[in-house]
Structure 1
Amino acid sequence: MVFRGKPSGGCSRCRSRRLKCDQKTPSCSQCIRADQKCTGYRDLTALMFENQSDDVIRKAKRIHIKAALSRQKLYESEQRYRRLQQSPQSQQLTTPIDDEAACFVYGNYILDGKSANHYSFIEQLLPSNGDSAIRSAMKAVGLAALANIKTAPNLMRAAREEYTTALAHTNQALRDQSLSKEDSTLGAVILLGMFEIMTCNGSGSMQRWRNHVEGAGKLIEWRGEEQLRNLRGLSMFRHLKISIITNNIYTGKPTSSFLTHLCQVASEIETSETRFIDKFSNIAVRFSNFCAAVKNGELTEPWSILEAALSVDNDLIRWSSTLPSFFSYRTVPVDRDLDTQVQVQARVVYGDHYHIYNNLSAAMVLNNYRALRMVVHEYISGYAGEIQQLKHQFLGAAMLPTNEYSKLKSQSDEIAKHLVAGICASVPYHLGAVGNAVQNNTHIDPRNSPHGALGGYALIWPLYLAADRAISPPSLKRWAIMYMDRIGYSMGINQALAMSVLLNRGLPSRTLLDTEMEIPLGPDMPSEESSD
């Protein structure tokens, strides 16, 4: 018997209409007024208690059935886990969300076929059982991306817990002379840096990313030439060196002589395609040292800086003139008649054409080339313009007649426009929209890309640099912001949202490196401290 609280004694009609019943006999006033038959009143004492034996029995049965289903689900999960342990790609997944996080990383970054295999070494490094730094780091990346996509603070908290675990395991490994040289330790550092890209919300995130990249650089030097003698070590080295060199360029740090030596050794190994990429890296190393010399005051005279920048640009021209067929791409024109369909295309393609590449790796390498050369031409255009404006101060010292510097600046700006157009033309391919997708879709949905989230991940910095150039019109900036937002929200990469904010505010990319700045996570994404 269960106490039910004080019930209403009114008639049925008054109770159903929430009317005050005066309970007069033989009929209440409300029913008389409505000319309705009054049903009479209830026994309040009997209603104070209710026999719920049958309800209790039914509830107990439901609990029993639910418990049985839970046991069955647990049994099925255990069986699935055992099958995973016995497979070559085994993982220790304890909950469905762990499974989803791991699948997200596999499906979006460890790709097969023509896509890229950019992080394929991660799969080889996962232990068959037990906790590890690289397993926790992979979970952290997957959970962070899913948290951003689903706007789920609870997932972000779980991601940060896995990140903390991975960081603790990694620090422990770094204190051991043998473990610090293991591929799994370097792989964990790579994923820890990737986590900062997923969760980027300002200069603090970028500083942590830089710390991971610089730490990876120290590990690479510690591992020495031995790492280049096996395919996995070589793959990890090639993956990391671009991040290290890029960080050096933006921070004005020289690339160490030993890392430069390792880059040279790597360029003499493997196929013509990878050797070609390594030669590009060697040029990037040279440019990073040039940037450091300018920042440190080793190069101060405008004509000396201009001469050095032109020399790097000549190296890049020679490199691009010998592109193997692997890097060739097809240019597809876009009809620009002023009809409704073309207005739709304008949202997908910026300009009058887009590119189709052999695979994502080729597109990524060529965008790295375009981005690097754009930065080189920042120096060329800037210092050519400075010499032209202050030519009376440099008579007798300049390389060219002073009236030639205005022409050089104009040529440099035209080259930069061409490089910007190339990056914009690569966007549909990076995000998986080519052919009919371009002709028929009102927009690109990055979630449908055959390249997974890797296509968007690799596009963020080149697209940002293209939109941030002084020679880029406002329409290009708006178009880039649109795609930064799509990459960020649909692929779970917060750095894309941070870049979008910088473009909206007209702030240079160095803002994230040089100032204390926090960027909102986005209109729909609460911070990790928010309640569920």
Structure 2
Amino acid sequence: MVYPGRPSSGCQTCRTRRIKCDETRPHCNACVRSGRECPGYPHPLDIVLRPQKAFNRKNPAMVAQRSTTDNDIDTKADKSRSCGLRPLPCLPVTSGSTTFPQVPGGLYLPMEDTVTAFFFNSYIYTPRDPLIRPGSMEYLPQLYAAAPFDSHLRLSALAVAFFCVAAWTRQENLVWRAQQCFGMALARTRSALQGDIERDYDNILMTLMLLYLYEEFISIKENKPSPKHHLRGAVALINCCSPERRKLPLSDTLTNAIQGEIVYSAVDERCPLLQTPKSWPLSEGIPELASSRLMMIATPFVKLRERWMKFFARADTANIEETEAILSEARTFDDRFLGWTYSLPKHWYPMPAAFFPQSVRDAGAYEGRCDCYTDVWIAETWNNYRIFRLSVQNLIYRCLSLLPNRTDEIESTLRTTRALATDICASVPFYLGSQTGSMRITDSRVEYPAAEPKHSRQQAPLIGGWFIRPALDTLCSMENLPEDLVEWARGQSIASPTLILANSQRQPNSASTSADRRLGLTNKMVFSWFRSNQTPTTTTSPSSSVEPESPLQHLTPTSVEPTLTEAPLVKPTAGTDDLPKLWTPSTNKKLFFGGAVFFALSLLTTRRALVRRFKATIPPYYTSSVYHKPEVNGGMEAFEALHLATINVLSFSMMASGGVLWAMGVNSVEDIRAYVKKRMAAGDRELSQTDKEMEKEVEEWVMKYLGKRIENGKLKDLSEPKGST
């Protein structure tokens, strides 16, 4: 077979013109220089898999059969587009099936496949430590591929995927697609719940997890608490399922995920407690995995939280015995959580950042601290540990507040709480890096700290904000934390597009921890357009009189003190005016082109009026011009003429003013002042020589005239006798 040559990867315009394309991204320089529109570059897969035109010419029958197949596929695709979806190119083959999936006539990538690939690669296919237990989302690609085209599982996954991509690309049409898929998924889920639940238990439970995730995204977007309706539905589904069915590997993983969400909701004091399932805990866990051991310790704590809430809701909070019992059990949980840290391998412990770029410091680092981890999953596990301990410490503090003479214990609890909160703040730069606003997903300008003295890139930049947001929300709802720390955490939470799915803007950092220091990102992106801009405020630097003792100092095999480096001070900016400005960039050009368009429209209107009046003077057919008397209203004619003259003068004045300002380079009031000063300075230089000559003449005249007067006065004084008065 003859080698046809390497296919061209240039843009279509350069290929049509038969010139060399430099393949510059996003538009080639040849198209830019010639003023042509660059259509972009073909996909690498389209370059490799070229259509076999020569083969088609030799086989006319195959061409006819292929065109018929393509028409059938296009017809099916058009029908699917009416409901917002497209069929997959091929479907999985079951073990009992004797037919093979038909290969589609053309290779195309539907939008559904694009958004799901983005979601899977960004949030699921990320490297993690072997001691991290696989979650429920690891099974989603497998279930998604095996699910029918219009199933509730596929529709719910598409709803989440469309929403994630919409948050990153800011395309409102994708939000509409997500809402459409969400509504269809709800209808399919209702139908599935009326069928055989035992047989479709895994798919329904995964669907409820995805719907709950979509519900969380919507709550973040609308800035309101999540109702957790679908999480409650998942609990009800688990109660209806037999224990034997839940013990299957996939079912156990999904049930463990639901159990984890219940635990996280229990430690979140901003929302009411969820009713736990009939059998608790739902999953026994895997003791060999560090993340599973942590969840095994936290799961029984939910019952203690319920016990405390019932006790606190009663009027007899002065019951010392019950308070002592709850306090003792809470301390037991705290010891278990602390003991969990001793069982971790050495590479799990956080290390101070050896590579700490200045851009990350400027973006925001509380007290100049930054801890680095092996991957984001280990960092998330550590923050989960801190969240659990903060909830336990908060419960201990409340119990001690009800007991007499516990001042020393309260102070110890407060120190531990502040140390845990500071460790959470130290992990924020590791998640978010130097990003201070909305950027492209693959933007190489974003820098991240690293434990080694070299440049580092985030392994999963899209889920960083999603992981750090719960920890920051916990800090915002905690009691007895330093005010500056809470304000700083609140600024991160606002900034988190977690999404977050919500890339507002992070404000520059100062040595003091400000609430608006990192605005625009906790979710760093997960959803970058769900952020709000805020003006920076200045606060005093955190007091160093009370130095919280970090629990990691006596846990790490090699105790390393994190270096506290102060971030550069940034002068606070004055408050900005929210009113629209009179002068905006390129105002002169806008005025010129706007006036030109207005002048063109006014000329068109004038010509139309003249033509209409001219046609009115022409007599109708078979009518003599002698007898033709058109209707004329002098007042209206004068008003119309005045109106046309006015708009012509105004439009021409606008265009002329814009052109003059453009030619003079004036775009603002400051430019006008600078122009006037420049002209005055030029005039002064021209007149400077003349002024000097005039001054010299005046000086000579004054000296000549006054000199004579002075000389005459001196002579007169000498001629008079000294004794005369």
User: Aligned letter for 1:419?
Assistant: L
1:227-249 deviations in Å (ceiling 9; x for gaps) = 45333222212211121233345
Does the aligned pair in 1 maintain the 2:352–2:372 contact within 8 Å? no
Identify the match of residue 221 of structure 1 among 232, 239, 248. 239
TM superposition shift of 1:101: 2.0
Partner Cα distance (2:371, 2:112) in 1: 37
Does the aligned pair in 1 maintain the 2:390–2:417 contact within 8 Å? yes
When residues 83 and 472 of structure 1 are mapped into structure 2, their CA distance, relative to the original with a 3 A threshold, is same
User: Aligned letter for 2:262?
Assistant: I
When residues 477 and 105 of structure 1 are mapped into structure 2, their CA distance, relative to the original with a 3 A threshold, is same
TM superposition shift of 1:103: 1.9
Partner Cα distance (2:186, 2:195) in 1: 15
Does the aligned pair in 2 maintain the 1:333–1:352 contact within 8 Å? no
Partner Cα distance (1:343, 1:454) in 2: 21
In structure 1, the residue matched to 2:123 is 109
Partner Cα distance (1:130, 1:382) in 2: 53
When residues 475 and 205 of structure 1 are mapped into structure 2, their CA distance, relative to the original with a 3 A threshold, is closer
Residue aligned with 2:299, SS: helix
Does the aligned pair in 2 maintain the 1:306–1:380 contact within 8 Å? no
In structure 2, the residue matched to 1:131 is 150
Q: Identity, % of aligned pairs?
A: 18
User: Aligned letter for 2:314?
Assistant: G
TM superposition shift of 1:165: 0.7
TM superposition shift of 1:185: 0.4
The correspondence of residues 238-277 of structure 1 with structure 2, limited to 5 A, is 238-249=256-267, 250=269, 251-253=271-273, 256=276, 258-263=278-283, 266-267=284-285, 269=286, 271-273=288-290, 275-277=292-294
In structure 1, the residue matched to 2:396 is 380
1:175 corresponds to 2:194 = yes
When residues 454 and 221 of structure 1 are mapped into structure 2, their CA distance, relative to the original with a 3 A threshold, is farther
- Mean Cα deviation higher: 294-303 or 171-180: 294-303
Identify the match of residue 231 of structure 1 among 246, 249, 261. 249
The correspondence of residues 145-160 of structure 1 with structure 2, limited to 5 A, is 145-160=164-179
Does the aligned pair in 2 maintain the 1:329–1:355 contact within 8 Å? no
In structure 2, the residue matched to 1:437 is 448
Does the aligned pair in 1 maintain the 2:353–2:371 contact within 8 Å? no
Does the aligned pair in 2 maintain the 1:121–1:236 contact within 8 Å? no
Residue aligned with 1:126, SS: helix
When residues 233 and 81 of structure 1 are mapped into structure 2, their CA distance, relative to the original with a 3 A threshold, is same
1:260-280 deviations in Å (ceiling 9; x for gaps) = 1434xx13x563436513422
User: Aligned letter for 1:102?
Assistant: T
Partner Cα distance (1:181, 1:484) in 2: 38
User: Aligned letter for 1:99?
Assistant: D
1:312-358 deviations in Å (ceiling 9; x for gaps) = 2322322331443258634433589xxx9668525343235433334
Partner Cα distance (2:486, 2:359) in 1: 18
Identify the match of residue 365 of structure 1 among 357, 381, 390. 381
Does the aligned pair in 1 maintain the 2:294–2:340 contact within 8 Å? no
User: Aligned letter for 1:437?
Assistant: Y
1:285 corresponds to 2:299 = no
Partner Cα distance (1:173, 1:327) in 2: 47
When residues 410 and 227 of structure 1 are mapped into structure 2, their CA distance, relative to the original with a 3 A threshold, is farther
Residue aligned with 1:381, SS: helix
Residue aligned with 1:321, SS: helix
When residues 152 and 82 of structure 1 are mapped into structure 2, their CA distance, relative to the original with a 3 A threshold, is closer
In structure 1, the residue matched to 2:185 is 166
Partner Cα distance (1:299, 1:94) in 2: 69
In structure 2, the residue matched to 1:421 is 422
Higher relative contact order (CA 8 A, sep 6+): 1
What RMSD over aligned residues (CA atoms) do the two structures have, in Å?
A: 4.5
TM superposition shift of 1:477: 4.0
When residues 332 and 299 of structure 1 are mapped into structure 2, their CA distance, relative to the original with a 3 A threshold, is farther
User: Aligned letter for 2:361?
Assistant: Q
Residue aligned with 2:128, SS: coil
In structure 2, the residue matched to 1:53 is none
Query: More helix per residue: 1 or 2?
Result: 1
Partner Cα distance (2:272, 2:346) in 1: 30
User: Aligned letter for 1:375?
Assistant: S
User: Aligned letter for 1:378?
Assistant: N
Partner Cα distance (1:153, 1:436) in 2: 30
Does the aligned pair in 1 maintain the 2:221–2:530 contact within 8 Å? no
When residues 309 and 108 of structure 1 are mapped into structure 2, their CA distance, relative to the original with a 3 A threshold, is farther
1:97 corresponds to 2:111 = yes
Partner Cα distance (1:295, 1:180) in 2: 43
Partner Cα distance (1:247, 1:293) in 2: 17
In structure 1, the residue matched to 2:687 is none
Does the aligned pair in 2 maintain the 1:464–1:480 contact within 8 Å? yes
Partner Cα distance (1:254, 1:291) in 2: 14
Partner Cα distance (2:112, 2:238) in 1: 30
When residues 275 and 186 of structure 1 are mapped into structure 2, their CA distance, relative to the original with a 3 A threshold, is same
Identify the match of residue 372 of structure 2 among 356, 369, 387. 356
TM superposition shift of 1:114: 1.6
Partner Cα distance (1:84, 1:110) in 2: 23
When residues 94 and 248 of structure 1 are mapped into structure 2, their CA distance, relative to the original with a 3 A threshold, is farther
Does the aligned pair in 1 maintain the 2:159–2:179 contact within 8 Å? yes
1:143 corresponds to 2:162 = yes
Does the aligned pair in 1 maintain the 2:502–2:531 contact within 8 Å? no
Partner Cα distance (1:153, 1:184) in 2: 29
TM superposition shift of 1:108: 2.2
Structure 1 unaligned spans of 5+: 1-68, 388-401, 498-502, 506-519, 525-532
Superposition TM-score, scaled by structure 1 size: 0.63
User: Aligned letter for 1:355?
Assistant: D
Residue aligned with 1:453, SS: coil
Identify the match of residue 194 of structure 1 among 189, 213, 231. 213
Does the aligned pair in 2 maintain the 1:181–1:222 contact within 8 Å? no
When residues 291 and 459 of structure 1 are mapped into structure 2, their CA distance, relative to the original with a 3 A threshold, is farther
User: Aligned letter for 1:284?
Assistant: F
Give the length in aligned residue pairs: 404
1:33-61 deviations in Å (ceiling 9; x for gaps) = xxxxxxxxxxxxxxxxxxxxxxxxxxxxx
When residues 438 and 379 of structure 1 are mapped into structure 2, their CA distance, relative to the original with a 3 A threshold, is same
Superposition TM-score, scaled by structure 2 size: 0.48
When residues 439 and 458 of structure 1 are mapped into structure 2, their CA distance, relative to the original with a 3 A threshold, is closer
In structure 1, the residue matched to 2:704 is none
1:465 corresponds to 2:485 = no
In structure 1, the residue matched to 2:317 is 300
Does the aligned pair in 2 maintain the 1:173–1:180 contact within 8 Å? no
TM superposition shift of 1:95: 7.0
Partner Cα distance (2:139, 2:398) in 1: 41
Does the aligned pair in 2 maintain the 1:114–1:359 contact within 8 Å? yes
Identify the match of residue 333 of structure 1 among 340, 345, 352. 352
When residues 160 and 219 of structure 1 are mapped into structure 2, their CA distance, relative to the original with a 3 A threshold, is same
Does the aligned pair in 2 maintain the 1:111–1:451 contact within 8 Å? no
Partner Cα distance (1:215, 1:490) in 2: 23
Does the aligned pair in 2 maintain the 1:140–1:195 contact within 8 Å? yes
Does the aligned pair in 1 maintain the 2:144–2:153 contact within 8 Å? yes
